[in-house]
Structure 1
Amino acid sequence: MKIVQVQTQAEAAGAQRISDMVGEGLRARGHEVRTVFMYRKTEAYDRDPNADFVLTDRPRGLPGQIRATVGLARYLRAARPDAVITYQHYGNIFGTIGARLAGVRHIVANQSGAPQSMGVMGLLSQIDKLMGTVGLYQANVVNSGWTQAQFDRYPRSYRRRMRRIDHGVPAPGEEFDKAAARAAFGLPQDVWLAVSSGRLTRMKNQIALVGALDRLPDVHVALAGAGPEREALVAFAESRGVADRLHLVGEVPPARIFEFLAAGDAYAFASMTETFG
């Protein structure tokens, strides 16, 4: 079967790792799978032989979103997949619309977050609610029992299409030496090191880890990831006098994340919300 996965933005983050794992699993079963991103955000997937981009930059405003949707529909019409799997709020909406315009018969959406009621995300949730209720996609995957419960008040026709597949992570395929891993990422050798991964955002709450350094004078923290809170984290660390014990290694490609984790003595994760537990 020929399958195309639709993601919103190309970057090394959790949602993209899920489609990576799904693609790997489907290819192992003999299916032809490609992942198309609405736009390129970082270089994380530039060398991925199974990745494509509709736009090279983030679409701006309604004209940009229309251009991305039309471009996606053209991509899907040219690819002629048997099925389309969509991810994230924008990916679900634009992916479903693009797949329908391209005449794709089998469409699977994914819900990895609770529906919202305010602002742009609230509007997107209402659009998804309508699409799922009328059956624009045939199946709707939720990543945990908690996520599924957030849709309990949705129409029965929407909930009838829901399928629960709990998220997980693959086991590393090899072992990594701690000293070598620290050297590879420019991390200090003879210190107690906590590591963490994820986009640098307010919701991921890495600032709590930086704040903890003020009370743990013998501990260092290494963060893998990029995002809008980077400068705020650095400024906060400097204001607390702990900047020398905060190590920002930047975006780590999926192929090297286990190597990064091997550099730590402990994994610390301060995220304020994770739907899969």
Structure 2
Amino acid sequence: MRTPAPKRVLFVQTQIENAGAQEISRLVGAGLTARGHDVRHLFFYARTGGADDVSGVEVCAEARPRGPIALVRLLAEARRRIARFDPQVVLTFQHWGDALGAPLVWAANRAPVIANQVSPPELVSPLARRLDRWWGTIGLYRLITTNSKETESYYVDYPAAYRDRLVPVPYGCEIKSSPLDRAAARRSLGLPEVGAILGCAARLHPSKRLDAAVRILPALPDVRLALAGQGPAHDDLLRLAGELGVADRLHLLGELQPTAIGDLLAALDVFVFPSAVETFGLAALEAATAGVPVVASDLPILRDVLSVDGREGALFVDVADTERFAATVAAVLADPGAAETLSRDGRALARRHSLAAMIEAYVGLVERIDREGRRS
């Protein structure tokens, strides 16, 4: 069997920020680079500096385009950069990365596109959904990955030509360790060294329901909440904390680089994950595999992802029930034995969600396209 020649592989995404899709593309890109492929990451615009420690990054615009002229300029710049790199395989991430990236690639050099579906339909605009459906049906996507059975279920009513391209590639996770002990990790983040601290790493967006985590603070005296991320809910969270009289116990850390997430997890007593909708729940998995007790929304997808060998690696609760949510967190804080059990069961999830297996799956897709050849 011949060894596939290294390829020029391009990742196309909407915006730079530290979120799940960007983390997965970073990990997969590093894995493909280790196999000898020439990997680049193209972002339409920069929302944050979240790719500062990623090599091979290009950005088409410094900010989200405002108005049709700015959008046309961005798309023209993206097409120019794609044509200049002349990729042999393209992986698109995020709904606009898929919907706009695929036709841009077709216009630039017609390289085969692997679209990656990672967004709940509720968070995708009708236009992006419509374009995605067309591209997958007419073959502008060569393959379409889904990160979970939950995601795959969104496409059950799509045309057969679209569904035939679906390939399941569950996320794997990088163990987010830290060389720092708890006290040092807290100092590095500007957090108090003593006292219980809850935390979450997520975009500050209403869909993440981080307000539910703020609402439990009045029932947990002396407990603090540290949130790592940025987004449109920032001011609303501060306002809510002020109204509840807990502003001094809410710490908004801003966006952290991937290498600093391990420090955040080392600083926490409990990781809370009150999200309203998920296709996987990567942040909760990262916390659990790092050994941090996790209390998460009672969503079927989270119960699936955060379990292995019949054991659940997290506690699940209706986070809209503030009293019950607070009581569940309080029980973990008050019972070191229960916390240790959660920590042990969480670490065991790494066996199921292997980073190496995910990277190998993507390597296999690139090699599959190489075997099938490029279509004109």
Query: Which TM-score bucket, shorter chain as reference?
Result: over 0.9
- Structure with bigger helix share is 2
1:252 match: 256
Residue by residue, what CA displacement relative to the aligned partner does 1:218-265 show, whole Å, maximum 9, x if unpaired? 311100001111111111101111111111111101121111111101
Which residue pairs with 2:107 in the alignment?
101
AA partner of residue 93 (structure 2) = Y
- 1:72 aligned residue: 78
What is the aligned partner in structure 2 of residue 164 from structure 1?
168
SS across alignment from 2:87: coil
Q: Secondary structure at the match of 2:273?
A: coil
Q: Report sequence identity in percent.
A: 39
- Distance, in Å, in 2 between the alignment partners of 1:208 and 1:174 is 28
Residue of structure 1 aligned with 2:233, choices 229, 233, 238: 229
Counterpart Cα distance in 1 of 2:216 and 2:248: 14
Cα displacement string for residues 109-165 of structure 1 (whole angstroms, at most 9, x for unaligned residues): 01112445x9x7112101110110000110001110011011000000000001111
Asked if 2 retains the 8 angstrom alpha-carbon contact of 1:83 and 1:104, the reply is: no
SS at match of 1:54: strand
CA contact (8 A) 2:8 2:88 kept: yes
In 1, distance between residues paired with 2:100 and 2:52? 22
1:240 aligns with 2:244: yes
Conserved? CA contact 1:81–1:104, under 8 Å: no
- Among candidates 115, 131, 147, match of residue 135 of structure 2: 131
Q: Distance in 2 between matches of 1:223 and 1:261?
A: 11
For 1:102 and 1:76, how far apart are their aligned partners in 2?
6
User: Do the aligned partners of 2:204 and 2:229 also contact (CA within 8 Å) in 1?
Assistant: yes
- Aligned residue among 257, 271, 274 for 2:275: 271
Matched residue of 1:210: which SS? helix
SS at match of 2:206: coil
The structure whose Rg is larger is: 2
Q: Are the aligned partners of 1:10 and 1:16 in contact in 2 as well (CA < 8 Å)? A: yes
Provide the rounded CA distance (Å) in 2 between the counterparts of 1:203 and 1:5: 26
RMSD of equivalent CA atoms: 1.5
Give the AA of the match of 2:164.
Answer: R
| 8 Å CA contact 1:84, 1:104 repeated in 2 | no
Structure 1 residue 36 corresponds to structure 2 residue 42: yes
SS at match of 1:163: strand
The equivalent of 1:27 in structure 2 is 33
Q: Find the aligned partners of 1:255 and 1:49 in 2 and give their Cα distance.
A: 14
Q: Match for 1:196: what amino acid?
A: C
SS at match of 1:214: helix
Q: Following TM superposition, by how much is the alpha carbon of 1:267 offset from its aligned partner in structure 2, in angstroms?
A: 0.7
Alpha carbons 2:26, 2:54 under 8 Å: kept: no
Structure 1 stretches lacking a partner, 5+ long: none
CA contact (8 A) 1:80 1:104 kept: no
2:213 counterpart residue number: 209
Q: Contact 1:132–1:161 (CA<8 Å) still a contact in 2?
A: yes
Are residues 47 and 167 of structure 1, via their aligned partners in 2, closer, same or farther at CA, if it must alter by over 3 Å?
A: closer
Is this contact kept in 2: 1:106–1:137, CA < 8 A? yes
From 173, 176, 183, the equivalent of 2:180 is 176
Letter in 2 for 1:98: L
- Please state if 1:82 is matched with 2:88: yes
Distance in 1 between the 2:161 and 2:120 partners?
Answer: 18
Aligned length: 275
Q: Distance in 2 between matches of 1:127 and 1:42?
A: 27
Q: 2:159 & 2:174 partners in 1: Cα distance?
A: 34
Shift of 1:45: 2.0
Gaps of 5+ in 2: 1-6, 281-300, 302-376
The offset of 1:173, in angstroms, is 5.3
Partners of 2:254 and 2:119 in 1: CA distance: 25
